[in-house]
Structure 1
Amino acid sequence: MLSSIILIEYRYHILSVFFKNSNGLKKSILIMASIGIVGAGLFGIYHFKKDSSDGRAFIWKVTTEIMADAPVFGVDFDRFKANYMNYQADYFEKNGETPEALVADNTYYAFNEWLQYAVENGLTGGVFLALFLYALFKVNVDKKEQFMVAISFSGLLAISGFALFSYPMQILPIKMIIVILLGFLSVLDRRKYKILNIQNKPHIPVFFKATVFILGTIGIVKGVEYANSLDRGFETWQNALNKYRYGDYDGALEDYAKAYPVFRKEGDFLMNYGKALSIAEQYGKAVGILEEAKQHLNTTIIETALGDAYKGLKQYDKAETAYYHAVTILSIVFTSKTL
């Protein structure tokens, strides 16, 4: 709605004409009516999916506790999902069976990109973000190109608003749109600097040109190789999942082992691999893979599979610890069903 209002106002100047030709009373009425409509809309949206809204509010509440423990440098890039569930378990451990447990679940994202960025990067990352936003708003373009600025900023504003309640930065098409919009602003900026302006530097050494060409070629080749390895890895991972669903655990484990070098730092993959190892009663390997998975992701699935693996190894104390942690992550969701 905000981005649409900006584009309509830029094209037709409805609001600017209204404010220019209206007295103070009409302006006040419009402002109050707008606030009332927005407020009523938000209230209605909240109650339309109340559990979902309450779940997000609870996630934000727990997320602020993570931020308090690592305010300067954060928990590190892309490490939110490795830390959050432990804090959720600690919250229920301290506060007991609160009503918030009814909306608790396995959580990968903070459902607020700004908050998740702050948690992962801390104040240090906040400084870089502030500098980036400052440079963004200082873009200076010719008057004839102002419409492209309006389009770019309205698109970025829409994504920024979406980022307050969801996880657009985890969605590839939205990332591509952001890059394109930022590219528009960069190209149109009259104050941009050209680091390599070939026209003004006709005597660039041949050695330098050859070096750039070789490095560029190597980069392209390596990039294509990596993309192909990812493609084959995802195909092998999917085959492993299909075999697992049909009970072909040996075949699934063979495919998981093939894909492991590609996804050895991918929490979801390690969770699937470790679970399959535990089901296949390869408990020693399962513990190793599941402990690796916890470095990148933590869910009740990992904890229960870890408990099963430790139980299979007859390490009952460790199994009990894993099971208990799985229960405390979701608190009364389990106990209420049991009762």
Structure 2
Amino acid sequence: LVIITLSVIGLYMLKKDSADGRLFMWKISSQAVAQNPWTGSGWDNVPAAYGQAQEKFFAEGNYSETEEYVAGTPEYVFNEYLQASIAWGLPVTCMCLLVVIFCFYIGNRNGLYGICGAILSLSVFAFSSYPFQFPAFVSALFVLLFTCIVQTIKSKKSIILYPVVCGLLLCTFVCSQNYRQDSRIVEACKKWNGSRIFYQSGAYSRAELEYAEIEAEMKGNARFMFEYGHTLHKLHKYKKSNEILIKALSLSGDPMILNIIGKNEQELKEYDRAEHYFLRSVHRLPSRIYPYYLLAKLYSTHEYYNYDKFKWACNMVIHKEPKVQSTAIRQMRDEIRKLSRTTNIK
């Protein structure tokens, strides 16, 4: 126990920031599970559920500097048990765990120590990473579980195992349907890959035409939806842009989506709504400087001017320490300093 304790402490100190980040992800993931514990949020909506839970956590204000520093917008929560709980709810996750434990038990009873060791290894791996996001690991798990059951049936001919086999076959079918790529989606992804050059080079009119053709097939892809919504923002089609970005927000926890929605609302003269989305972005990832910059610009407008709020946002932009210094942050600070001088803010 002493050796294990010292080893754990040593590993933690070796990569402290990484360990703190992993622990924080699990903390937020637990809160995301608590928001919808029975039915879950859906497998594709896990990043969005995580982002909403993190936003709520930071909005309450009871957090440490370390938690603010390590927070991010992960696509996976680095714990498949929590990932499954967010996606499907606690009952389904517990049922899946019971099946795995049962297969491990009967395999161990029948001397299948190699198979059981493989199941145990995969279970430990799933505790701190995301192997089941890849079909190969899902297939490996089902093969291992089937092997335990089939060997037990051959040796003991136990009738009680047949329902378990049927359940595993059903799970295999469901998973295969989830991983199966429709030919239209494959073609749409290929077209998107070729069309991104227009988006990345600033040819937004052409990018809009290309993206509009594949929107129906790509509506479950958060990155595509963000690029499409951002393209429409650049073309000053603010209402249509928000329609697309709201859909992207249901798939992703990226605060940049909230920033673009807020900018659209500001252009539409909906200043209260713009402030709402900018503040949501601040709460979702408080270490970012950009949403404070957008708030400072919003509060400096003639139609929505507020000295106290403007002063607060300016101070955050100028004095808040970012994770990584960059040219963009220096440019934002220079611009905000020029704005603050006009109102004698120091």
On whether the aligned pair clears a TM of 0.5, the verdict is yes
Task: Look up the SS of the partner of 1:261 in the other structure.
Answer: coil
Alpha-carbon deviation of 1:117?
A: 1.9
Provide closer, same or farther for how the CA distance between residues 56 and 323 of structure 1 changes in structure 2, counting only shifts above 3 A.
same
Q: Is the 8 A contact 1:63 1:119 kept in 2?
A: yes
Counterpart for residue 125 of structure 1: 92
Task: Look up the SS of the partner of 2:253 in the other structure.
Answer: coil
Provide closer, same or farther for how the CA distance between residues 92 and 178 of structure 1 changes in structure 2, counting only shifts above 3 A.
same
Q: Distance in 1 between matches of 2:63 and 2:101?
A: 45
Alpha-carbon deviation of 1:337?
A: 5.7
Q: Is the 8 A contact 2:43 2:87 kept in 1?
A: yes
Counterpart for residue 324 of structure 2: none
The one-letter amino acid of 1:316's match is Y
Counterpart for residue 241 of structure 1: 196
Counterpart for residue 94 of structure 1: 60
For the pair 1:83 / 2:49, whether they are aligned, the reply is yes
Q: Is the 8 A contact 1:101 1:333 kept in 2?
A: no
Counterpart for residue 77 of structure 2: 110
Alpha-carbon deviation of 1:97?
A: 6.2
Please give the per-residue CA displacement for 1:181-231, whole angstroms capped at 9, x wherever unaligned: 33433443424649xxxxxxxxxxxxxxxxxxxxxxxxxxx99x9542232
The one-letter amino acid of 2:31's match is E
Please, which of 14, 21, 25 is the counterpart of residue 48 of structure 1? 14
Q: Distance in 1 between matches of 2:108 and 2:80?
A: 29
Give unpaired runs (5+ residues) of structure 2.
164-176, 293-315, 320-346
Q: Is the 8 A contact 2:232 2:240 kept in 1?
A: yes
Provide closer, same or farther for how the CA distance between residues 239 and 94 of structure 1 changes in structure 2, counting only shifts above 3 A.
same
For the pair 1:157 / 2:124, whether they are aligned, the reply is no
Provide closer, same or farther for how the CA distance between residues 150 and 263 of structure 1 changes in structure 2, counting only shifts above 3 A.
farther
Give TM-score, length-normalised by structure 2.
0.69
Aligned positions of 1:117-266 closer than 5 A? 117-139=84-106, 146=111, 149-190=112-153, 191=158, 193=162, 227-266=182-221
Counterpart for residue 293 of structure 1: 248
Provide closer, same or farther for how the CA distance between residues 238 and 292 of structure 1 changes in structure 2, counting only shifts above 3 A.
same
Give unpaired runs (5+ residues) of structure 1.
1-34, 195-221
Provide closer, same or farther for how the CA distance between residues 251 and 45 of structure 1 changes in structure 2, counting only shifts above 3 A.
farther
Please give the per-residue CA displacement for 1:120-173, whole angstroms capped at 9, x wherever unaligned: 333321442244225413546997xx5xx3333222222211221121111333
Counterpart for residue 234 of structure 2: 279
Provide closer, same or farther for how the CA distance between residues 180 and 252 of structure 1 changes in structure 2, counting only shifts above 3 A.
farther
Q: Distance in 2 between matches of 1:134 and 1:172?
A: 21
Q: Distance in 2 between matches of 1:285 and 1:236?
A: 22
Counterpart for residue 29 of structure 2: 63
Q: Is the 8 A contact 2:107 2:149 kept in 1?
A: no
Larger-gyration structure (1/2): 1
Q: Is the 8 A contact 1:239 1:252 kept in 2?
A: no
Alpha-carbon deviation of 1:300?
A: 0.8
Counterpart for residue 283 of structure 2: 328
Q: Distance in 2 between matches of 1:338 and 1:186?
A: 63
Q: Distance in 1 between matches of 2:283 and 2:105?
A: 48
Q: Distance in 2 between matches of 1:97 and 1:126?
A: 29
Q: Distance in 1 between matches of 2:227 and 2:256?
A: 9
Q: Distance in 2 between matches of 1:52 and 1:241?
A: 33
Q: Distance in 1 between matches of 2:17 and 2:109?
A: 48
Q: Give aligned-pair identity as a percent.
A: 26
Give TM-score, length-normalised by structure 1.
0.71
Q: How many residues align?
A: 274
Q: Distance in 2 between matches of 1:68 and 1:142?
A: 36
Q: Distance in 1 between matches of 2:17 and 2:264?
A: 34
Q: Is the 8 A contact 1:77 1:120 kept in 2?
A: yes
Q: Distance in 1 between matches of 2:283 and 2:100?
A: 40
Counterpart for residue 20 of structure 1: none
When the two chains are superposed, the root-mean-square deviation of aligned CA atoms in Å is: 3.0
Provide closer, same or farther for how the CA distance between residues 247 and 115 of structure 1 changes in structure 2, counting only shifts above 3 A.
same
Greater CA drift, 82-91 or 171-180: 171-180
